[in-house]
Amino acid sequence: KKMLAWQRTGYHFQPQKNWMNDPNGPLFYKGWYHFFYQYNPSGAVWGNISWGHAVSKDLINWRHLPLAMVPDQWYDINGVWTGSATILQDGQLVMLYTGSTNTSVQVQNLAYPADQSDPLLINWVKYSANPVLVPPPGIMDHDFRDPTTAWLTPERKWRIIIGSKINKTGISLVYDTMDFKTYEMLDGVLHAVPETGMWECVDFYPVSEVENEGMDTSVNGPKVKHVVKTSLDDDRNDYYALGTYDSEAGIWTPDDPSIDVGIGLRYDYGIFYASKTFYDKKLRRRILWSWIKETDSEKSDIQKGWASLQAVPRTIVFDMKTGSNILQWPVKEVERLRRNRIVFDKVEVTAGSVVPLDVVSTSQLDIVAEFKVDEEALKRMNVNGSDSSYSCQKSGGAAERGALGPFGLLVLASKHLIEQTPIYFYISKDTKGNFKTFFCADHSRSSQANDVDKEIYGSTVPVLKDETLSMRILVDRSIVESFGQGGRSCITSRVYPTRVACEDVKIFLFNNATDARITASLQIWQMSSASIQ
Ligand code: DQQ
């Protein structure tokens, strides 16, 4: 019991009890950040899907509000599913969402606030002539869901996309509307990728190639790229790609077809799904929300009485240095929870060693770490041959030793390391002397429980010439969010330590390389709990 209670997080968004999944309709409205989410009001498993609702001034401290919408009409009686908000030019707000009908057909519905002058947006009205869209010819009844935020076309119409599939090809259907009640379907799709299956929770937004500010969804022009994101139902991960949007034709083209949507980059290489962005006009940034599911058993969820978290909201910008990925970073407001900074300057970690870090109370932390690899070891790289076929998933995890890695941190570790979650870099090299850096998280020893996920996650991360390796890690009891190289590559982990009932969790530096000394510099803060009432 004590262990299950310990898993409830201190500063991640979660309802007081029961099941939560996708983020819905996030927006900033009359001074408040609003967050809606897929919610089961009567249990810790998926079902009875309604819209939960909470508001915040800072995206970190939250106030829960009454349910915004419940399944009470023929067109959403099987669930008020995922949707998005659009703020119109006159400041009015509309919400589009998917309803699962009395015969389980997926349709799109319109809803709006009962009182547009209420900053808390407590009451919602469903449009009397819903549904506004039904599956078009050629699209199956179960493959038509999750409308996006709308953006303006050159003709000043509103445009949305909706995810679907035809056979095994994932697609995004495009609709234009003036009033959100009647729609015109475009002939082509915004984008399609063969063999990717059903596209859930598609997202589409501009990023600036030259500025670090976010852009409102309707912005287009020179020095703007567009991101297409999809949540692949078949493998339960969120994929994105950068490309160019032709607003006349309503078509998007990837910069690099070899890393097209669904076959290339992921937002996060751990647990991360059904994410959605919105433009925050208060601080001119684009913010990403994402559902983080449990990776323990359904039985434990029922015992706990709750399931799922939302990731700490992340700011998204284009990576101007690489030009080929986005950067994700926890919103700066989370730093207000930092307490008791401890600095570790240039700690030497010799090959094959583990160094305990003297930090008390490590269940809620914000860690910023930099690693320097011994220059001589980098030069000696060819002595031990090549390990260019390395990958986080295929390797033996943090226990598999190479010349130049793995090295990093062990978080949520028990005193004698019986339980530990390594977050680490691994540098591989080929016979020509080219380096490749991996950013990984190993869950194989994260818990002594036998009904939890113990996979190894990760990917390569771009490291440019003369850059030091860096990671930031947010630890919050049963969740660890890790950001490599300033957010070029991210890994979200769910971790269920069992020994917390008898001892405090600990943190260590480790270096399991065979041939490289590492110098690590760290700042570690304890994190206060947010107020979520
Ligand atoms: N969750 C919703 C759907 C969406 C799925 C239902 C993604 O609208 O496609 O709860 O997690």
E strands along 88-168, which residues? Answer: 93-100, 106-113, 124-126, 151-152, 158-166
The pLDDT assigned to 179 comes to: 97
Q: Whose CA is nearest to atom 9 of ligand 1?
A: 200
What 3-state class would DSSP assign to 270? coil
Question: Given 2.60.120.560, 3.20.20.70, 2.40.50.840, 1.10.287.130, which CATH number is that of 338-527?
Answer: 2.60.120.560
Topology (CATH level 3) of domain 16-332: Tachylectin-2; Chain A (2.115.10)
- With residue 506 as reference, give the H or E element that holds it: strand 506-511
Angle at 17 between CA 475 and CA 495, to 5 degrees: 25
Distance from the alpha carbon of residue 77 to the mean position of ligand 1, in angstroms: 15
Number of Cβ atoms within 10 Å of the Cβ of 256: 12
Q: Whose CA is nearest to atom 7 of ligand 1?
A: 274
Using CA atoms, how far apart are residues 147 and 47, in angstroms rounded to an integer?
A: 20
Using CA atoms, how far apart are residues 241 and 255, in angstroms rounded to an integer?
A: 8
List 22, 146, 268, 453, catalytic entry: 22
Residue whose CB lies within 8 A of the most ligand 1 atoms, among 70, 82, 148, for a mutation test? 82
pLDDT at residue 384 tops 60? no
Q: C-alpha distances in angstroms, 166 versus 137, 147, 258, 424?
A: 11, 17, 21, 40
449-472 burial, b if ≥16 CB within 10 A, otherwise e?
eeebbebbbbbbbbbeeeeebbbb
pLDDT at residue 381 tops 60? yes
Give tens-digit pLDDT for 285-302: 999 999 999 999 999 999
* Contact yes or no for 527/341 (Cβ under 8 A): no
Residue 209's pLDDT band (boundaries 50, 70, 90)?
very high
- What's the rounded mean pLDDT across residues 507-526? 96
The pLDDT assigned to 499 comes to: 85
The pLDDT assigned to 377 comes to: 86
Residue whose CB lies within 8 A of the most ligand 1 atoms, among 81, 143, 231, for a mutation test? 81
Ligand 1 pocket residue status of 513, Cβ below 6 Å: no
- What's the rounded mean pLDDT across residues 312-340? 98
Percent of the residues in the chain that have a pLDDT greater than 70, as a whole number: 98
Distance from the alpha carbon of residue 400 to the mean position of ligand 1, in angstroms: 38
What 3-state class would DSSP assign to 4? helix
Residue 500's pLDDT band (boundaries 50, 70, 90)?
confident
Q: What is the dihedral of CA 488, 282, 63, 26, to 10 degrees?
A: -60
The pLDDT assigned to 2 comes to: 84
- What's the rounded mean pLDDT across residues 74-79? 98
What's the one-letter identity of residue 327?
Answer: L
Ligand 1 pocket residue status of 22, Cβ below 6 Å: yes
Q: Which two tokens stand for residue 430?
A: 């080929």
* Contact yes or no for 184/246 (Cβ under 8 A): no
Q: Which two tokens stand for residue 171?
A: 């697609």
* Residue among 335, 314, 366, 350 at smallest CA distance from 522: 366
What 3-state class would DSSP assign to 146? coil
* Contact yes or no for 290/267 (Cβ under 8 A): yes
The pLDDT assigned to 385 comes to: 62
Active site residue 216: no
Distance from the alpha carbon of residue 274 to the mean position of ligand 1, in angstroms: 7
Which ligand 1 atom sits nearest the alpha carbon of residue 201?
A: 9
Give tens-digit pLDDT for 18-68: 999 999 999 999 999 999 999 999 999 999 999 999 999 999 999 999 999
Using CA atoms, how far apart are residues 104 and 291, in angstroms rounded to an integer?
A: 23
Ligand 1 pocket residue status of 198, Cβ below 6 Å: no
Distance from the alpha carbon of residue 145 to the mean position of ligand 1, in angstroms: 8
pLDDT at residue 205 tops 80? yes
Distance from the alpha carbon of residue 142 to the mean position of ligand 1, in angstroms: 11
Which range, of 115-119, 191-195, 401-405, averages the lowest pLDDT?
401-405
Which ligand 1 atom sits nearest the alpha carbon of residue 82?
A: 8
Chain-centre distance for alpha carbon 73? 32
What 3-state class would DSSP assign to 380? helix
Ligand 1 pocket residue status of 95, Cβ below 6 Å: no
Ligand 1 pocket residue status of 100, Cβ below 6 Å: no
pLDDT at residue 360 tops 90? no
Ligand 1 pocket residue status of 82, Cβ below 6 Å: yes
Residue with tokens 């939890």: 452
Angle at 10 between CA 9 and CA 12, to 5 degrees: 70
Domain ranges within the chain, ordered by starting residue: 16-332, 338-527
- What's the rounded mean pLDDT across residues 125-141? 98
* Contact yes or no for 37/22 (Cβ under 8 A): yes
Ligand 1 pocket residue status of 80, Cβ below 6 Å: no
Ligand 1 pocket residue status of 84, Cβ below 6 Å: no
The pLDDT assigned to 502 comes to: 67
Question: 313: number of CA atoms within 13 Å, CB side?
Answer: 27
E strands along 30-105, which residues? Answer: 32-40, 50-56, 63-69, 80-87, 93-100
Number of Cβ atoms within 10 Å of the Cβ of 55: 18
The pLDDT assigned to 529 comes to: 98
* Contact yes or no for 67/40 (Cβ under 8 A): no
Give tens-digit pLDDT for 246-287: 999 999 999 999 999 999 999 999 999 999 999 999 999 999
The pLDDT assigned to 383 comes to: 53
* Residue among 266, 216, 212 at smallest CA distance from 239: 266
What 3-state class would DSSP assign to 488? coil
Residue whose CB lies within 8 A of the most ligand 1 atoms, among 21, 198, 237, 273, for a mutation test? 21
Using CA atoms, how far apart are residues 308 and 382, in angstroms rounded to an integer?
A: 45
Residue 361's pLDDT band (boundaries 50, 70, 90)?
confident
Distance from the alpha carbon of residue 22 to the mean position of ligand 1, in angstroms: 6
Using CA atoms, how far apart are residues 284 and 207, in angstroms rounded to an integer?
A: 12
* ipTM attached to this prediction: 0.99
Using CA atoms, how far apart are residues 114 and 47, in angstroms rounded to an integer?
A: 26
CB burial class (10 A; 0-12, 13-18, 19+) of residue 296?
buried
Using CA atoms, how far apart are residues 257 and 18, in angstroms rounded to an integer?
A: 41
